[in-house]
Amino acid sequence: MKKIINTIYLFMVYAFLYIPIIVLIVNSFNVSKFGQKWKGVTFKWYGELLDNDSLIQAAIHSLTIALISATCAALLGSLMAIALYRYRFKSKNFIKGLLFVVMMSPDITMAISLLAIFTLISIELGFFTLLIAHITFCLPFVVITVLARLSGFDIRMLEAAKDLGAKEWTILSKIIMPLAKTAIMSGWLLSFTLSLDDVIISSFVTGPSYEILPLKIYSMVRVGISPEINALATVMLVFSLLLVVISKWLVREKIR
């Protein structure tokens, strides 16, 4: 009895989370432009999507930023985590504090602060400002994930390595990095998700030279209903799922 209620409840919550997305996906095949009634299957919206160069461009930009910033954040964040874990230095608390500020700041606060500095140094808003912004807000999440993993290390293992003559670089590259791999990869995945999903910060720090998805969609939605967006949503979802499946498959191969 309890099991049935539990299952129904889970189902309802998942339904809540997925129905709007399912509506998008379904409507991407719907002949009717307004998506209010089902009028038949069509692929024409996908066709219009492919024709809509600027939208595709924006989507590719978003994906590119997500991939690059996730990778950079994963690297930089891992370095930070290692520094915090292994080294003693005066500014440790300062760094921890700053990372905390980033994590706790509402996106909007971060957004305007970044815009402020970019304006100050007169850098043109575009790819690089966007990249820097995304890396910055992903950092704390990577640091926390990797740091948690490092804290679980047996310190004696590292001492043993030193005892056997390993230099710092060797310890980092041959012991710490491999063992922290899963944490680094979860950090990457998390960063990728956050980057792809971001609307607020991206709205502030990018410019017309590098259009990304949120702003493009915003302008399209303002004007009216745009069924190509449904098609786009479906494509993005499928692509991301494929990415996860591939990465899981790659991990499995490595375990073998």
Give the footprint of another protein on residues 172-201 (CB under 8 A): 172, 193, 196-200
Helices 44-51 and 228-255: angle between axes, nearest 10 degrees:
90
CB of 215 to another protein, least distance (A): 9
Task: Please state, in angstroms and rounded to a whole number, the distance separating the CA atoms of residues 85 and 4.
Answer: 46
* 88 Rama class: left (phi>0) / alpha (psi -120 to 50) / beta: beta
CB of 234 to another protein, least distance (A): 9
Using CB under 8 A, which of the segments 3-11, 38-46, 49-57, 151-159 binds another protein? Answer: 3-11
- Cβ-count burial 48-61 (b if 16+ within 10 Å, e if not): ebeebeebbebbeb
Give, in degrees to the nearest 5, the angle at Cα 100 between 96 and 212.
120
Q: Which of residues 120-159 bind another protein (CB under 8 A)?
A: 120, 132-133, 136, 139
| Residue 71 near another protein by CB under 8 A | no
| Residue 11 near another protein by CB under 8 A | no
The burial of 158, by beta-carbon neighbours within 10 Å (0-12 exposed, 13-18 middle, 19 or more buried), is given as middle
CB of 35 to another protein, least distance (A): 6
Residue where the block lists tokens 């500095």: 117
CB of 71 to another protein, least distance (A): 15
When the beta carbons of 13 and 60 are compared against another protein, the nearer one is 13
**What does 128-178 look like in DSSP terms, one character per residue?**
HHHHHHHHHHHHHHHHHHHHHHHHTS-HHHHHHHHHTT--HHHIIIIIIHH
The burial of 26, by beta-carbon neighbours within 10 Å (0-12 exposed, 13-18 middle, 19 or more buried), is given as middle
CB of 171 to another protein, least distance (A): 10
The residue count for binding another protein (CB under 8 A) is 72
When the beta carbons of 41 and 121 are compared against another protein, the nearer one is 121
Q: Which of residues 197-236 bind another protein (CB under 8 A)?
A: 197-200, 203-204, 213-214, 217-218, 221, 229, 232-233, 236
When the beta carbons of 114 and 183 are compared against another protein, the nearer one is 114
Q: Determine which residue in the list 32, 54, 60, 112 makes contact with another protein, applying CB under 8 A.
A: 112
Q: Which of residues 80-99 bind another protein (CB under 8 A)?
A: 80, 82-83, 87, 89, 91, 95, 98-99
CB of 185 to another protein, least distance (A): 14
99: phi then psi, degrees, rounded to nearest 5: -60, -40
Residues 6+ apart with CB under 8 A from 26: 38
